[in-house]
Amino acid sequence: MTWSPCLRTFRRPPAVAPRARQEGYRVTLEDAKGRVLETAFVEVRFIEADPEHATFGTRLAYRANARRVVLYRGDASLSTFPVVSGQPRFALIHPTHQRDIDPEGCVHVKWRATARKRLTYHIRFSANGTTWFRLAVNLQKQDHVLDLRPLPGGRRCRLQIIATNGYHTQYVELPPFALPGKSPELLAGGLGGPVLFAQGYSYEEGPIVGEAIVWHCDGRAVASGGRFDVRQLREGVHEIAVALSLGGEERRREVLGLYDCRTGRIASHRG
């Protein structure tokens, strides 16, 4: 049996089918004396093309004194994953100063393990200290090049290198640094008319929908929302544009073209 430990990314445990409890598959976290610290029922899923192989997964709370993870069916132990003792030990080599981080380029992150135990590394990023993005996972080497240019902007961005020995984890953090804000993306559809659609996405604030979508006719705001029917305007040919607004500030505007408002059809494309 092969065990594949991973870092937990969601607090809510996965739903366990009633069948899993009936069949009695469970995973336990045990200490050195075999005492059960945590337990969770799991659903074993057999691969239809090969009924001799199956997969399972669950999440267990962290216990510092754990020494093994065991898969049981009923009272029979099927497989054991030994927990490596001790926290991972490693240190950041570069960059150690904010001046070494180019906010409009790439950064070559380097670190070194201070013990000989085999470690696996992950890198994550946050522009606000709350929302985190995985930029690299399951690294075996001790350096990685990251392109900072497409990342969300913020005044105190953070990059963390996380090391795991399969159970215990530890991290080091780069000096905080600033990244410039990114222009939101705008996606417009139905450009032939008469009904137009639009939505946006901000790298810092997420989806832009509803009242934050503003429609313009000849440079004047006339409606808001993700859907706009050109035929509601006065007759004639007019320039239609759509804009994204965040916090009451217009962040992006695009001209879609000239539209015949009697039919709602486009007369001349943008540009």
Instruction: Report the alpha-carbon distance of residue 208 to residue 160 in Å, rounded.
Output: 28
> What single letter denotes the amino acid at residue 199?
Q
Per-residue pLDDT of the chain (271 residues; tens, 9 = 90+): 788 877 765 555 555 555 555 568 899 999 999 999 999 888 888 776 666 778 888 888 889 999 999 999 888 999 999 998 888 999 999 999 999 999 999 999 999 998 888 899 999 999 988 889 999 999 999 999 999 998 999 999 999 999 999 899 999 999 999 999 888 999 999 999 999 999 999 888 889 999 999 999 999 999 999 999 999 998 899 999 999 998 888 999 999 999 999 999 998 876 5
pLDDT of residue 235: 85
Q: How far, in Å, are 58, 160, 197, 202, 210 from residue 207 at the CA level?
A: 31, 26, 15, 6, 10
pLDDT of residue 199: 94
Can you point out the beta strands (E) in 31-153?
36-41, 45-47, 50-55, 68-73, 76-82, 90-94, 106-113, 120-126, 133-139, 143-147
pTM beyond 0.85: no
pLDDT of residue 246: 87
Tell me the domains of the chain and their CATH numbers: 18-82 (no CATH), 90-179 (2.60.40.10), 185-269 (2.60.40)
Instruction: Report the alpha-carbon distance of residue 81 to residue 5 in Å, rounded.
Output: 9
pLDDT of residue 23: 63
What residues are paired with 214 via a beta bridge? 224, 243
Nearest to 173 by CA among 159, 156, 154, 157: 159
pLDDT of residue 69: 94
pLDDT of residue 32: 93
Instruction: Report the alpha-carbon distance of residue 261 to residue 20 in Å, rounded.
Output: 61
**Pairing assessment for the beta strands 177-179 and 185-189 based on DSSP bridges:** unpaired
- CA 86 vs. chain centroid, Å, equals 29
